[in-house]
Amino acid sequence: MDLTRKPYKYYSFYDLETSGMNPAFDQILQFAAIRTDLNFNEIERHEFKIKLREDVIPHAGALIVNRLDVSYLLKGTNEYEATKKMHSILSSEDTINLGYNTISFDDEFMRFTYDRNLLNPYSNQNNLSNCARMDIMPITILYFLYEKNTMKWPVVNNKPSLRLEYLNSFNDLAQGMAHDALVDVEATIELAKLLRKENEEMWSYLCKGFDKNTDLQRLNNLEHIELSDGSSYSKGLFIRNKFGYKNNCISQCIKIAEDNKLNKTFWLRLDTKIFDSINEKRIFSELKKSTVSRKTGVPDFILPMSEKYNVSSSKKKELFSINEKWIQSNPQYLHELSEYFLSIEYEDRDFDLDASLYPKGAFHFDEGKKKVCNDFHEITDLNKKANFVENIQYDDVKAKATRLLGRNYYNHLSSTLKKEFDMYIQSTKEDVHIDASGKKRNTIEDALNETRSKLEDISNLDNQQVEILKSFEKYLLSK
């Protein structure tokens, strides 16, 4: 552990309501945060909505969940101003930023939002202001497995579920409509209180798992299995809700590779199927399918393979021991698998500028570009801002800045930049925009189809949701 690091003093619990699931093409519509001390005593709270951008077409499914009426979203703070506010809240000194499933959803959304607004995408987790991140959801899974008395565990349609909405309603965590950003934040804080109170030692152990060095150290302490050729591999219990509640969210794995550059490890699940009975031709592809990757310091937790923690069924335990023997006498497959995962090259797609965060790298890793971004924020006069953008020397920064200005201060653009922004708006209507994984930007036509198909069967909707869809349909037709 890094002992020179300053201690954290605060939590900022936060939650986003958005126009959809895609962080590159959707936008934040509502933001809520409550800042507390480390004993969960509230210090301050923030809540605001963000004006719907002209170039964002919300998903009907999102509006059903967050119950935000489009007509209401057409007023309010623009994305750029709101993003600067969120940025100042979530990059406060000595603070851990967290929420429910924030690491794989909200944090990701924030990064793209920061990026298209020329702010450092990693602001929520940086050494400069000593902030870090955590996530209550993976912690909750471990309490669900090992501390059953913590609370009532929701069962919905005969299946366990750890959705925040259900945890809240089964345990009366917070009042108000679920999926309101502030209600969800309050529920998450109450949940965190319950977890810590039930077992403080476990709470503290799990919190430290979000520290990269601690996590690495724990991985290094795992027991090994020895293969017939003398090589050895760590084994551990991989906890991830994606493995399914019928498997107790657990999988018995061995670590087959570490990619230190990408900060990732790869784990072969030894309890999915019997490898010995798969023929020579198909074995490698089956091994690949049974491999999962994990980002260091971003639990999904890995626990030592002890009887105490291994809540796998006896059938799964048997599968593991059969496969363990097979792998011990077939070491060549593991070496081949390890090599394969360390040499994966990601497809180079022609994706839209709004999705360029990972593949092209953030501006804030380049000193020159970083300075341009900072200078841009410093200028308060909007006409001067527009003039500054016109003269930016880096093409990629200029293109992003142009979209930023067009989205938030269109009237201040010069005619050249207006023309460029108009072309972008046109292309959102005429061309297919994809992100780095090939997912599409939403279009008016797709949104209309989604809305109408939802309105065809309203048996699962209440009146408010139906009204929201109807006014959304009108809005789409008027665009």
Partner DNA sequence: GAACAAAT
Residue 208 CB neighbour total at 10 angstroms? 15
Interface with DNA, residue 315, by CB under 7 A: no
Q: Which amino acid is at 414?
A: S
Minimum distance from residue 448 beta carbon to DNA (Å)? 17
Ramachandran bin of 263, using left for φ above 0, alpha for ψ from -120 to 50, beta for the remaining angles: left
Cβ-based nearer residue to DNA, 323 or 442? 442
> Rounded to 10 degrees, what is the CA torsion of 107, 110, 111, 117?
-170
Could you tell me which stretch among 74-82, 97-105, 110-118, 412-420 binds DNA (CB under 7 A)?
Answer: 97-105
Interface with DNA, residue 402, by CB under 7 A: no
Binding mask 351-390 for DNA (x = CB under 7 A): ----------------------------------------
- 47: which strand partners? 32
Could you tell me which stretch among 98-106, 275-283, 338-346, 356-364 binds DNA (CB under 7 A)?
Answer: 98-106
- The footprint of DNA on this chain (CB under 7 A) covers a number of residues equal to 29
Write the DSSP symbol of residue 171: H
- In angstroms, the CA 115 to CA 41 distance is 32
Q: Which has the closest alpha carbon to 468: 66, 134, 117, 156?
A: 66
Minimum distance from residue 183 beta carbon to DNA (Å)? 10
Interface with DNA, residue 163, by CB under 7 A: yes
Minimum distance from residue 134 beta carbon to DNA (Å)? 15
Q: Mention every residue, 6+ apart, whose C-beta is less than 8 A from residue 417.
A: 386, 389, 390, 402, 405, 406
Interface with DNA, residue 246, by CB under 7 A: yes
Could you tell me which stretch among 18-26, 301-309, 343-351, 431-439 binds DNA (CB under 7 A)?
Answer: 18-26
Cβ-based nearer residue to DNA, 179 or 403? 179
What Rg value do the Cα atoms of the chain yield, rounded?
A: 24
Cβ-based nearer residue to DNA, 221 or 285? 285
Could you tell me which stretch among 59-67, 116-124, 347-355, 436-444 binds DNA (CB under 7 A)?
Answer: 59-67
Helix 181-198 / helix 136-146 crossing angle, nearest 10 deg: 40
- Joined together, the tokens standing for residue 6 give 């300053």
- Joined together, the tokens standing for residue 157 give 């349609």
Cβ atoms of 130 and 8 within 8 Å: the answer is yes
Binding to DNA, residues 100-159 (CB under 7 A):
100-101, 104-105, 137, 159
Interface with DNA, residue 164, by CB under 7 A: yes
Interface with DNA, residue 66, by CB under 7 A: yes
Interface residues with DNA (CB under 7 A) are: 15-18, 20-21, 59, 61-62, 65-66, 100-101, 104-105, 137, 159, 161-165, 179, 184, 241-242, 244-246
